[in-house]
Amino acid sequence: MQKVFDSAFFRDLGHKLVDKLADYLQITLSKQSDICIPWQPSSQMLEYWEKNLNFSGSGNIYEFLCKIIDSSVHIHDSRYMGHQVGMVAPVAALAGLVSDLLNNGMAVYEMGLSSVPLERIICQYFAKLYNLPSSADGFMTSGGTLSNITAMLTARQIKAEEDVWTLGQKKQKMAIMVSNQAHYCIERAVKIMGWGEKGIIKVPTDSNFKIKIENLEPLYKKAKIQGIKIIALVGSACSTATGSFDNLRKMGEFAKEYKLWFHIDAAHGGAAILSPKYAHLLDGTELADSITIDFHKMMMIPALASALLYRNSADSYKTFAQKADYLLSNNEDWQNPAARTFECSKFMMVVKIASLIHAHGLKAIKNYVETCFDNGKKLANLIKKEKNFELATEPQCNIVCFRLVYSFLSLEDTNRLNYYCRKQIVERGEYYILTTQINGKTFFRVSLMNYLTEENEFKGLISQIKHYANLWLKRQT
Ligand SMILES: *Cc1c(COP(=O)(O)O)cnc(C)c1O
C-alpha cells in the first residue's frame, strides 16, 4: 500500500505526465499531428488491451498512460469535428486533477467546503445571465441527461394533481410536449417515469427543424380530449442532430397560457448567452421554469459538468421531498446539494468551471463559442459552392449537416455513398466526422468543437469526401 500513496511517486509521475500532455498540446494545437483519430477495429483494440493490461500491478504506468493518449481521439486537433464534447481548456483539466485527488463528495456542505459555495455562485451567475428572477438558483449534475430527467421529475411533482413521489402515480395520465428533434434523453426520462409512448407528444418541426408553434395548441387539445394531462413543454436550444434553436419565447408564452412547466434543454447552446452575437438564439430564457446547460460541450470543460437551473429555487426542493435524516437537516437548504440532486456523491465539477473563469474570464468562453459558431457559417458557405453537395438546413450554430447528392442515384444508394465516405475518412484518421439520419436521409454531421478549425481544414475535408465519392462511384460502374 505504501507505494500507492507515495508522494514522491506521485510527484515524479505527475511531472512526467504533465510534460507529455504539454507536448501533446503543443504538437496538436500547432497542427503538426498526423491524425486526429487513430482508428482501429474494436476487436483489435480489445485484443491489444487484453494483452497489455497488467493485473499484477507490475506494469509501466507512464507508458500505459502514454498509450492511452496516443490511441485516443484528439479533440484538440483542428480536424476534430465529431461528437459534441468540448475542446478542454488545460486549466480545467488541471483543476480536475486537484478535485479528483481531493474527492470531496459534494452531497453536503461539509463535504464540499469550497465546492458547494462555488457551485451556488456559478449557478446563480448563469441564472442571471438567462434573465431568470432573483428567486433562481440551481445545482450541478453529471450530465445533461441527468439534468433533464431531474427537471421532468420536478415538473411532474409540481404540475400533477396528486403527490406522485409519495403515493405513486394513481389515476392521472400525463405527458410532455417536445419537438421531434429533441435529444433522446427526454424520451427516456418520460419512459423512466412510466408514461410509455403516450407520455411524449412529439411536435412536428419546420424545414429548419424548429418546433412548429402552430401545432402546440391542437396537439394540446387532442391530448386533453384523450384524458391526458400535459404537464410540461420542453424547448431545444439547440436540437442535437441539426443544431436548431426552437422559438423559446413563443414556447414560453404558450406554456404560461396553459400553465405548463417550461423546460429549456440548452445543453449544447446555452453557452451562446455569453456572446452578444449569438445570445439572440436564446431569446425567451427568462420564461423558463428550468434550464439545462452542459459546460462540457461549448464551455471547454471536461465531461461531465452540467447545471440545472430553476426559476424558483423552492421548486427544486420538491423533486425528491423525502426524509434522509442522517444526511439532510431541512429541505430548502442550498448548503446540502443532495436534498435536490439525483446523485448522492458527485464530482466537484464546479472547480473546473470556476478555475477556467478565474484564470481566463468568461470572455474566453465567449470567444470560443463565437469562433465555433462562426465556423458553422463558414463551412456552410463552402458547401453551398460545391456541386453535388447539399445542406440539411442553414446552420444556426456550430453543428452542420450536409450530404452528397447525385441526381442519378436512388435514395438508398445516396445513403450508402455518404455512409461509405464517412467510414473511409474516419478510418484514414485525419478527420473525425459523423453521420446522422434525417427523415430517412444519411447526412454527414459535424460539430465544430475546435476553435482552431479554419477554412483550410474544411477544404481538406470536402476534398476527402469528393475523393472517396469518386472511388465509390467508379466501383458502381
Ligand atoms: C448533449 C445533449 C444532451 C445530453 O447531455 P449529456 O451531457 O451528454 O448527458 C441533452 N440534450 C441536448 C440538447 C444535448 O445536446
Nearest atom of ligand 1 to the alpha carbon of 237? 13
DSSP annotation of 171 reads S
Full-model pTM: 0.96
Has residue 328 got a pLDDT over 70? no
pLDDT band at 326 (very low <50, low <70, confident <90, very high): very low
How many whole angstroms separate alpha carbon 261 and alpha carbon 269? 20
Q: In 3D, which of 73, 71, 93, 76 has the Cα closest to residue 25?
A: 76
Nine-digit cell at 208? 429548419
Q: In 3D, which of 301, 408, 282, 276 has the Cα closest to residue 351?
A: 301
State pLDDT tens for residues 158-215: 999 888 888 888 878 999 999 999 999 999 999 999 999 999 999 999 999 999 999 9
State pLDDT tens for residues 144-161: 999 999 999 999 999 998
State pLDDT tens for residues 381-397: 999 999 999 999 999 99
Chain centroid to Cα 67, Å, comes to: 27
Q: Give yes or no for residue 157 CB within 6 A of ligand 1.
A: no
Ligand 1 geometric centre to CA of 62 (Å): 33
Over range 287-313, report the average pLDDT.
Answer: 98
State pLDDT tens for residues 341-376: 999 999 999 999 999 999 999 999 999 999 999 999
Q: Give yes or no for residue 137 CB within 6 A of ligand 1.
A: no
Q: Is 233 helix (H, G, I), strand (E, B) or coil?
A: strand
State pLDDT tens for residues 119-148: 999 999 999 999 999 999 999 999 999 999
Ligand 1 geometric centre to CA of 45 (Å): 28
% of the chain exceeding 90 in pLDDT: 92
Q: In 3D, which of 419, 426, 423 has the Cα closest to residue 37?
A: 426
Q: Give yes or no for residue 285 CB within 6 A of ligand 1.
A: no
Q: Is the peptide bond before 123 cis (omega within 30 degrees of 0)?
A: no
How many whole angstroms separate alpha carbon 230 and alpha carbon 190? 12
State pLDDT tens for residues 21-64: 999 999 999 999 999 999 999 999 999 999 999 999 999 999 99
Q: Give yes or no for residue 236 CB within 6 A of ligand 1.
A: yes
pLDDT value at position 323? 52
Task: At 354, give phi and psi (nearest 5°).
Answer: -60, -35
How many whole angstroms separate alpha carbon 279 and alpha carbon 271? 9
Q: Give yes or no for residue 150 CB within 6 A of ligand 1.
A: no
Nearest atom of ligand 1 to the alpha carbon of 294? 7
Ligand 1 geometric centre to CA of 244 (Å): 14
How many whole angstroms separate alpha carbon 39 and alpha carbon 36? 9
Q: Which residues contact 456 (CB under 8 A, 6 or more apart)?
A: none
Q: How many CB atoms lie within 10 A of CB 35?
A: 15
Cβ atoms of 210 and 242 closer than 8 Å: no
> Which pairs from 4-12 meet CB under 8 Å and 24+ separation?
none
The angle, 0 to 180 degrees and rounded to 10, between the axes of the packed helices 7-29 and 90-102 is 160
Has residue 256 got a pLDDT over 60? yes
Ligand 1 geometric centre to CA of 66 (Å): 30
Q: How many CB atoms lie within 10 A of CB 386?
A: 13
pLDDT value at position 413? 97
